[in-house]
């Protein structure tokens, strides 16, 4: 099967960097070319300058097939044919309601991007799908745990796909950031891969035969287990699921023909990279070092606190917050990087500079290393704060690179036309 890819919500190209093992060689982008990115889309709402799109085109060339249009407005039928759809997308409200004509419609604010993924899937029917999201998706919304993820699974099942998922902490598998994300792999029921997978019990898919088991090994015995039938036998459609479904999804699972098995599993971990291994050792620009006043503010932000606050009804309550290690330990992987990295914020990394012993922010290159991008990937003319933002918004490309060999085997074994 041809390894043709489209990348939705492409950002600065994380999936492409990971799948094609992209590097800088003598200042030029070199990629394996194993995976042919036939189309991609990146559009940032509410901003005139499209820094992520500009970075993508600077690194990969101003190709006709990289779209800078609101995905809601893209004609999905005009997207090129492809065999795998990849993308990281926001965690939003996936509830479904009926329209006045008694048809299924979307309840909530316009622009829920998962439905654009589904519209693309309906139009193009890719053989495989690989998606990334925050792990809280499994428990969303807070008042009806598991509803949104269940609706996603059922939506994919209705379109002829089986699915597996895993929450992966990049640091557990040897990388330099403690970043937990859920990775969702779906495949068409028409594929040769599906014919092989359905021969195994659901538990065996999770532990031995699935994409995740082959890429990120886990201990044999799960800590917890849960199951549910999301097919039409239990729920007529996703509208009914919106009002009735509440379910505990764990950090690993599989959905075959609507039958779900989910387990809390433990990783077989590798020794993580540490901050000491990825930070720059010399020629650190003075602007990254902290003044005494900024250090004082960081001490407050990262310290424990108990603050009395007033409610709207006039009553009071206490806001409590535990302390954080300050500065960050160089002997551990970095914490989860957020889009506010580089600002004077509780979540921002502060390290002790190896040469001077002074406290400083991590540099944009160090932020790129935490996500597995080549050094200076975002050094394309965008402002410093946007370089940090892009990395806080990206995925750990090393995780995608670790998936690549298993995906390669799946594609090389796929002989049926889909």
Q: Helix 384-392 and helix 51-60: axis angle, to 10°? A: 80
Answer left, alpha or beta for residue 268, where phi above 0 means left and psi between -120 and 50 means alpha.
Answer: beta
Question: Which residues is 8 bridged to in the sheet?
Answer: 87
Catalytic residue among 5, 12, 74, 91: 91
The distance of Cα 159 from the centroid of its chain, to the nearest Å, equals 22
Cα separations in angstroms, 241 against 92, 97, 112: 16, 10, 18
Question: Could you give the CA distance from residue 123 to residue 158 in angstroms, rounded to a whole number?
Answer: 14
| Nearest of 411, 368, 361 to residue 392 by alpha carbon | 368
Q: Would you list the DSSP string of 158-172?
A: HTTEEEEEEEEEGGG
91 noted as active-site residue: yes
Question: Could you give the CA distance from residue 266 to residue 264 in angstroms, rounded to a whole number?
Answer: 7
Cis geometry, peptide bond prior to residue 327 (ω within 30 degrees of 0): yes
User: Could you tell me the maximum CA-CA distance found in the chain, to the nearest angstrom?
Assistant: 69
Question: Could you give the CA distance from residue 66 to residue 197 in angstroms, rounded to a whole number?
Answer: 34
- Tell me phi and psi for residue 388, to 5 degrees: -65, -45
Cis geometry, peptide bond prior to residue 141 (ω within 30 degrees of 0): yes
Task: Tell me the three state secondary structure of residue 365.
Answer: helix
- Tell me phi and psi for residue 3, to 5 degrees: -90, 65
Question: Could you give the CA distance from residue 214 to residue 397 in angstroms, rounded to a whole number?
Answer: 18
- Tell me phi and psi for residue 131, to 5 degrees: -125, 155
Catalytic residues: 91
């Amino acid at each position: 099967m041809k390894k043709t890819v489209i990348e939705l919500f492409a950002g600065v190209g994380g999936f492409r960097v990971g799948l094609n093992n992209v590097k800088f060689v003598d200042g030029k982008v070199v990629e394996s070319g194993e995976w042919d990115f036939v189309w991609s889309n990146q559009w940032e709402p509410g901003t005139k300058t499209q820094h992520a799109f500009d970075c993508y085109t600077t690194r990969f060339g101003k190709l006709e097939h990289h779209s800078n249009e609101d995905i809601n407005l893209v004609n999905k039928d005009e997207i090129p044919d492809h065999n795998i759809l990849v993308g990281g997308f926001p965690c939003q409200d996936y509830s479904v309601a009926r329209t006045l004509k008694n048809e299924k419609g979307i309840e909530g604010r316009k622009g829920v991007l998962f439905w654009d993924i589904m519209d693309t899937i309906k139009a193009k029917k890719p053989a495989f799908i690989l998606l990334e999201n925050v792990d809280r998706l499994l428990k969303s919304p807070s008042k009806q745990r598991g509803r949104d993820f269940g609706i996603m699974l059922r939506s994919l099942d209705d379109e002829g796909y089986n699915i597996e998922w895993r929450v992966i902490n990049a640091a557990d598998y040897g990388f330099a950031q403690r970043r937990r994300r859920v990775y969702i792999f779906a495949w068409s029921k028409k594929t040769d891969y599906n014919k092989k997978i359905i021969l195994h019990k659901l538990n065996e898919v999770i532990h031995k035969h699935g994409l995740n088991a082959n890429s990120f090994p886990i201990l044999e015995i799960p800590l917890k287990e849960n199951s549910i039938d999301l097919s039409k036998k239990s729920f007529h459609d996703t509208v009914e699921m919106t009002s009735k479904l509440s379910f505990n999804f764990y950090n690993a699972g599989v959905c075959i023909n609507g039958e779900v098995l989910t387990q809390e599993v433990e990783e077989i971990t590798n020794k993580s990279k540490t901050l000491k291994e990825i930070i720059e050792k010399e020629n650190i620009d003075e602007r990254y070092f902290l003044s005494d006043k900024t250090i004082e503010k960081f001490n407050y932000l990262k310290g424990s606190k108990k603050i009395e606050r007033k409610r709207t009804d006039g009553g009071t309550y206490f806001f409590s917050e535990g302390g954080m290690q300050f500065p960050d330990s160089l002997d551990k992987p970095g914490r989860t990087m957020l889009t506010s990295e580089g600002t004077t914020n509780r979540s921002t990394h502060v390290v002790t500079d190896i040469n001077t012993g002074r406290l400083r922010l991590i540099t944009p290159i160090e932020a790129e290393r935490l996500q597995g991008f080549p050094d200076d990937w975002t050094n394309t003319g965008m402002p410093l704060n946007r370089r940090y933002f892009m990395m806080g918004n990206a995925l750990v490309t090393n995780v995608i690179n670790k998936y690549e060999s298993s995906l390669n085997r799946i594609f090389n074994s796929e002989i049926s036309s889909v």
